[in-house]
């Protein structure tokens, strides 16, 4: 594995023992050791409880007077709050999309797409053997980027005109739909009476 995941084994808080240096020895990683007087062995201060020596209690008492333990600051992984499970009955299925109105007008093309219509015709005339759609699109995009605002102006103007027409048609359609809905509501109210 290239990189270890931080989710598998979170970092453990290390204990750092602070005491006089003449009574403790330090390892390279900073852990503290003390000398057991009975067996003359170096005993890790953190694991002094597991040391099986008859003078264990004496060592512990002498260390407690000298040593203060503090936990080093280590980032703890943040646990995510989980939402309370909802009842099955309360859950709804996927949200239903609004059905697309078949009468709705098609959105107008942007200036770039109007340019691409012209560019495709030009490109096919100059490169009749080229069938690659991606090459046409790539070269068209490069040409569009290199064009100045003045060169783009006819396409931008045409796109603005088409958008204005689209907005007018859309407004008319919305008005018609609202009228139809009102008529349906009135009919349903008459049927209920």
Domains of the chain as residue ranges with CATH: 15-71 (no CATH), 111-192 (1.10.30)
- Phi and psi torsions of 4, nearest 5°: -80, 140
Instruction: Please state the separation of Cα 17 from the chain's center in Å.
Output: 41
Does 191 score more than 80 pLDDT?
Answer: no
Residues 6+ apart with CB under 8 A from 74: 11, 12, 13, 14
Where does the pLDDT of residue 159 fall: very low under 50, low under 70, confident under 90, or very high at 90 and above? very high
Q: How far is residue 193's CA from residue 188's CA, in Å, rounded to a whole number?
A: 9
pTM, two decimal places: 0.45
* pLDDT tens track for 74-128: 566 667 777 666 555 555 667 777 777 777 888 999 999 999 999 999 999 998 8
* pLDDT tens track for 40-81: 777 777 777 676 765 556 666 666 665 555 555 556 666 777
Q: How far is residue 17's CA from residue 32's CA, in Å, rounded to a whole number?
A: 6
DSSP assignments along the chain, one per residue:
--S--TTTSPPPPPEEEE--TTT-EE-TTS-EEEE-TTT--EEESTTGGG---TTHHHHHHHHHHH-EEEEPP-PPPPPPPPPPPPPTTT---SPPPPPPPTTSPPPPP-HHHHHHHHHHHHHHHH-TT---HHHHHHHHHHHHHH--HHHHHHHHHHHHHHHHHHHHHHHHHHHHHHHHHHHHHHHHHHHH-
């Amino acid at each position: 594995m290239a990189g270890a995941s931080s989710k598998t084994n979170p970092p453990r808080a290390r204990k750092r023992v602070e005491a006089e240096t003449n009574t403790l020895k330090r390892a390279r990683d900073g852990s503290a050791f003390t000398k057991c007087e009975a067996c003359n062995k170096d005993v890790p201060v953190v694991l002094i409880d597991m040391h099986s020596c008859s003078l264990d209690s004496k060592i512990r008492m002498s260390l407690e007077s000298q040593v203060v333990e503090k936990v080093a600051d280590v980032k703890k992984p943040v646990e995510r709050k989980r939402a309370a499970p909802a009842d099955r009955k309360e859950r709804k299925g996927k949200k239903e999309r609004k059905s697309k109105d078949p009468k709705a007008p098609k959105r107008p093309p942007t200036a770039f797409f109007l340019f691409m219509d012209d560019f495709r015709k030009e490109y096919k005339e100059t490169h009749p053997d080229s069938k690659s759609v991606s090459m046409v699109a790539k070269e068209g995009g490069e040409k569009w980027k290199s064009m100045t605002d003045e060169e783009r102006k006819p396409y931008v103007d045409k796109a603005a005109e088409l958008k204005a027409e689209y907005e007018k048609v859309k407004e008319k359609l919305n008005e018609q739909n609202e009228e139809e809905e009102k008529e349906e509501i009135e009919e349903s109210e008459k049927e209920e009476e």
